[in-house]
A and B are shown apart, each in its own frame.
Chain A
Amino acid sequence: DTGVSQDPRHKITKRGQNVTFRCDPISEHNRLYWYRQTLGQGPEFLTYFQNEAQLEKSRLLSDRFSAERPKGSFSTLEIQRTEQGDSAMYLCASSDGLLSNQPQHFGDGTRLSIL
């Protein structure tokens, strides 16, 4: 069990640029979740996948955000035309969705800073 892996750990970019983050879940997990955490707050749900299907999206996920999980393994989260308010930690988690009592396992996160 290598855990949930996220890349990059840190991303600094100028306002208006596009950024993409990657998440590799625990290999046997079919559920993958994205959360956003701002300083001093708890994580807020963005979206989740069951295999390659995106099952739910939060209203926090504006049109500038898109997430994919093309082969049901790794996932990418893209933010287009970044804004100052996008600065946050982006967390990925995975779980075995077929077992209802299994917890979500989190990655280290990608910290995004918008200049």
Chain B
Amino acid sequence: AQTVTQSQPEMSVQEAETVTLSCTYDTSESNYYLFWYKQPPSRQMILVIRQEAYKQQNATENRFSVNFQKAAKSFSLKISDSQLGDTAMYFCASGEHYGGSQGNLIFGKGTKLSVKP
């Protein structure tokens, strides 16, 4: 069975600084995807970034980048130039793929990030 572990329940960062959120996962599948989702207070969960397990190159999306260590089953999220709007719960998730189609996601418990002015 898949598991996703986020060991940092809460983190804070000063505006404009860089912060890294940790995530480890476990899966027996060879074909899977990893995701970071952001859930602002009382708002919709939105995708921040995704990584295909078969790709060695780390994904980047503007100020967001990941450090994907496949052998260590680690998938950390780095937020550069933190902004007040980055304040949210961040969930790491993994999704296995069967026959080229995506199955359900397994989420970690989340990290509450607070960006301070």
Q: Using a CB–CB distance below 8 Å, which chain A residues touch chain B?
A: 3, 31, 33, 35, 40-45, 48, 50, 56, 58, 91, 95, 97-98, 100-109
Contacts and interface: CB of A to CB of B under 8 A. Distances in A.
B109 A97 contact: no
Interface string B77-117: 00000000000000101010100111111111110000000
Nearest to A34: B104
Interface range on chain B: under 10, 10 to 19, 20 to 34, or 35 or more?
20 to 34
Counting from the closest, the 6 A-B pairs by CB-CB distance are A42-B107, A45-B104, A106-B45, A103-B47, A100-B100, A97-B101
Contact of A56 (B4, B37, B93, B104): B104
Q: Chain B: interface secondary structure? A: strand
A106 to B, nearest CB: 4
B102 A102 contact: yes
Contact of A95 (B46, B93, B102): B102
A106 B46 contact: yes
24 contacts: A31-B101, A42-B4, A42-B91, A42-B93, A42-B107, A43-B91, A43-B105, A44-B107, A45-B104, A48-B104, A50-B101, A58-B104, A98-B101, A100-B100, A100-B101, A101-B33, A101-B50, A103-B47, A103-B50, A104-B95, A105-B47, A106-B44, A106-B46, A108-B44
